[in-house]
């Protein structure tokens, strides 16, 4: 069993001696290996990368890799899974701050775009290398993705229920949000040269909102425009 999983389970048991420092160390090691893996997979490709390459890039021993992961494929799987888990961590908190469905949709979209911005190298690698995973791992990733998608879909559906939208397909609109966010990773080599991530996010989400909202919805958007007010870390 992987060290991270063992530590987390132990921490939940009554009387556990596993400390927060131990858990923090486990997560730091995993992220250290993740960073090395991303570098290796990007430079050499998944199939040409060896466990020794991963260890060298992470600055650890190859034996330590096996304390945290089953094999090279498991490293790839866990790196991609971490992106999906980030969506499922960040979106609920962003959505929960608002009651208005249109505000909730804007907050969910911003959170999704922000995860991509923080992990665009990993997101791009996921597109290239997911085919290298086994079918059980791919099914797990798909289930996680559906879980995230449903958070955005619920926000879109609530906007429809409130009479804020033109006649739209809720799931297609959800995928418009998702694919627009992923475009930042897919075309980052060019997009980062012509705009900031904030500019890209505001432009992309605004286009989606303007296409889906009717007059009532656009009036509601003017009254409380979360997107226009969003300023990540004080940047313009």
The pLDDT value given to residue 225? 81
Same domain, yes or no: 11 and 123: no
**CB atoms inside a 10 Å sphere around CB 104:** 24
Same domain, yes or no: 65 and 79: no
Same domain, yes or no: 77 and 37: no
In a domain, 133, yes or no: yes
Q: Domain ends where: 45, 69, 93? A: 69
Same domain, yes or no: 47 and 62: yes
Q: Domain ends where: 16, 44, 69? A: 69
Same domain, yes or no: 22 and 120: no
The pLDDT value given to residue 17? 53
Same domain, yes or no: 222 and 124: yes
In a domain, 235, yes or no: no
| Mean pLDDT by groups of 10 residues along the chain of 236 residues | 46 56 82 85 86 90 89 91 90 94 96 93 87 94 94 97 97 97 95 96 96 96 89 63
Same domain, yes or no: 216 and 160: yes
CA distance readout (Å), 75 to 106, 158, 198, 216: 33, 38, 31, 48
Residue 108 belongs to domain spanning: 73-230
Same domain, yes or no: 24 and 97: no
Same domain, yes or no: 33 and 92: no
Based on the structure, what is the number of domains in the chain? 2
Same domain, yes or no: 121 and 217: yes
Same domain, yes or no: 133 and 176: yes
The pLDDT value given to residue 15? 47
CA distance 75 to 19: 25
CATH code at 176?
1.10.357.10
Q: Do 129 and 76 form a contact (C-beta atoms < 8 A)? A: yes
The pLDDT value given to residue 1? 42
């Amino acid at each position: 069993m992987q060290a991270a999983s063992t530590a987390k389970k132990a921490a939940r048991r009554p009387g556990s001696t596993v400390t927060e420092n131990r858990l923090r160390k486990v997560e730091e090691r995993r992220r250290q290996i993740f960073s090395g893996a991303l570098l290796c997979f990007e430079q050499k490709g998944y199939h040409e990368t060896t466990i020794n390459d991963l260890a060298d890039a992470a600055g650890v021993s190859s034996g330590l890799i096996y304390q945290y992961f089953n094999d090279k494929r498991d490293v790839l799987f866990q790196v991609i899974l971490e992106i999906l888990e980030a969506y499922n961590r960040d979106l609920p908190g962003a959505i929960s701050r608002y009651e208005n469905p249109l505000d909730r949709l804007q907050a969910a979209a911003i959170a999704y775009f922000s995860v991509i911005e923080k992990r665009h190298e990993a997101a791009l690698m996921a597109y290239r290398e997911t085919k290298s995973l086994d079918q059980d791992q791919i099914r797990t990733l798909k289930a996680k993705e559906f879980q995230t998608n449903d958070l955005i879909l619920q926000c879109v559906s609530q906007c429809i229920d409130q009479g804020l939208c033109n006649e739209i397909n809720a799931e297609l609109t959800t995928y418009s949000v998702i694919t627009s966010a992923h475009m930042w990773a897919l075309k980052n080599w060019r997009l980062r040269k012509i705009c900031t991530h904030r500019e890209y996010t505001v432009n992309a989400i605004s286009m989606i909102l303007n296409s889906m909202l009717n007059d009532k919805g656009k009036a509601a958007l003017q009254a409380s425009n979360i997107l226009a007010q969003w300023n990540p870390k004080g940047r313009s």
